[in-house]
Copies of this chain bind each other. A is one copy, B any other.
Amino acid sequence: MSSRRVRSEQVEQTRDTMLRTAERLFAEHGVASVSNRQISEASGQGNNAAVNYHFGTKSDLVREIVRRHAGPMEEIRRGLLERYSGSTELRDWVTCVVRSITDHLDALGHPSWYARFAAQLITEPALRELAAAEIAEAPMFLAVLDALHACLPDLPPEVRHERDDMAHTLILHFCAQRERSGTPRWSATAAALIDAVDGLYRAPSRQSVA
C-alpha cells in the first residue's frame, strides 16, 4: 500500500471517529451546548482545533452527520417505494415515512444515537432548516411525500403542512425516547407509530368549528 493511501485511510478514520463522537455528544447535550473543542478532545485529538481543520464550522459538521444518514435512508425509501408502487393506501405511505427511520435505526445497531441527534436538530430552528434543506433535495423522500399527500383526505394546504409537521415531531421524538430507553424494539416502535400517524393524518380538520 502506498504511503499516500495509508495516510488517506488514517484521515478517513480520524474523520469517522470525530463524526461519531460529535453525533453522540450532540444527541446527549444538544448541538448548542457542545463546542468543536470538546468534540476534538473527546475524539482523542491532541489538537483542539481538529474539528475545525477537518470539517469547518459547527454547521458544516452537523451537515456532514446529516448526510451520512441521508444516504442509507434514501436507499430504504427506494426499496419501500418499489414495494408500494402504485398504492393509493395512505397507510402504505405512512409505513414508508416511519420505516425509513426505524429500519435505519435498526441497521445502526445498539446503541444508536441518531434518533436523539435528529430530535435535537428539530428543536433548534436554524438546524431544523439546515436538515430540511438537505432532505429537500432527496428524490426518494420527495416521492414518498408526494404519494402520501395524494392519499390524504381533503385538507386545506396549511392544515396539511401542520399535519406533516406534527407527524415528523411525533416520529422523531418518540423514536428518541425509545432509543434513550436503552432497549428499543424498532419493529414494534414502527408498528405503534404507523397506526398513530395514520390516524393523525386521517383526522378531519374541524379548526374552523373549534
Question: Interface residues, chain A, CB within 8 Å of chain B?
Answer: 29-30, 32-33, 119, 122-123, 125, 159, 162-163, 165-166, 169-170, 173-174, 176-177, 180-181, 187-188, 190-207, 210
Within 8 Å CB of A177, what residues of B? Answer: 122-123, 165, 169
**Top 3 A-B pairs, shortest CB-CB distance:** A199-B203, A191-B210, A199-B199
Q: How far is the CA of A199 from the CA of B195 in the complex (A)?
A: 10
Q: Write 5 A-B pairs (CB below 8 A) sorted by A numbering.
A: A29-B33, A170-B173, A173-B173, A187-B210, A198-B203
Contact yes or no, A166 B170, CB < 8 A: yes
Q: How many copies does the complex hold?
A: 2
Question: Are A163 and B196 interface neighbours, CB within 8 A?
Answer: yes
> Bound complex: CA of A200 vs CA of B163, how far in Å?
12
Report A200 CB to chain B, min CB distance, Å: 5
Q: How far is the CA of A182 from the CA of B166 in the complex (A)?
A: 18
